[in-house]
A and B are shown apart, each in its own frame.
Chain A
């Protein structure tokens, strides 16, 4: 039986810039930042209240994972906002939206009442987008 998820990957165009976005703009905590050779950096962050879920900010580099032209294609797809990686939760969507906007986060959609709930959509510095909603009581 699967009990939980502990790692998830988000592909980013630049890890330094992603660090700034996720840590300084979103307020995430750095879990592990292990630099090895150039192009080999393991960088994971966690949402402030979810220390056991590591989001790995994976650089798109040509290598074993992306062979040949695949790295460039992947970079283009990310840049063009192809990937929606998940749903984040906050206590108060309006306040979080105002704060993130003040920090320069780009929203594709401001807080909007939808038939499924109250949500906003924002993009990270690479182009990956996320939904942001309020905590739902079970």
Chain B
């Protein structure tokens, strides 16, 4: 029996896997399972996992988790509560969300949010601290004394 990779032109194969990846990117907040995703690519489940992993270096499930954690960071940065963030990115349980977030990011969601807000406040208060001096000087920004006052 010939494999899909032999049967179809390669670009067609890539388009289908990419389509599935983009499907995960847009539908991460829904209750996705492998059946949904492999249907999107029109592959059998196991063939799909193998191809996905060979292209992206991780299984579709691991990739979905990664997308959810990245989106969670984005929501936390936008001042969403941890509970809202958890459900917005497709988790059912705050405990499992918090545990997975900490395992991946190294901080709990609330710690991550606090640190992010702190850094944003510092950037607003003293932007020059975050700009390499050589660039600030070259652009003439370092001479602007009111930078420290801008909010």
Which residues in A have some Cβ–Cβ distance to B below 8 Å? 7, 9, 32-37, 40, 42, 56, 63-65, 91-92, 94-95, 97-99, 102
Contacts and interface: CB of A to CB of B under 8 A. Distances in A.
Given A34-B131, A65-B140, A94-B11, 5 more contacts: A9-B135, A34-B130, A36-B147, A95-B17, A99-B18
Interface residues of B, number: 28
B18 A98 contact: yes
B150 A95 contact: no
Nearest to B122: A34
Interface in B99-144: 123-124, 127, 130-132, 135, 138-141, 144
Nearest to B123: A34
Interface SS majority for chain B: helix
A112 to B, nearest CB: 13
B32 interface: no
A34 B18 CA distance: 34
A92 B55 contact: yes
A92 B56 contact: yes
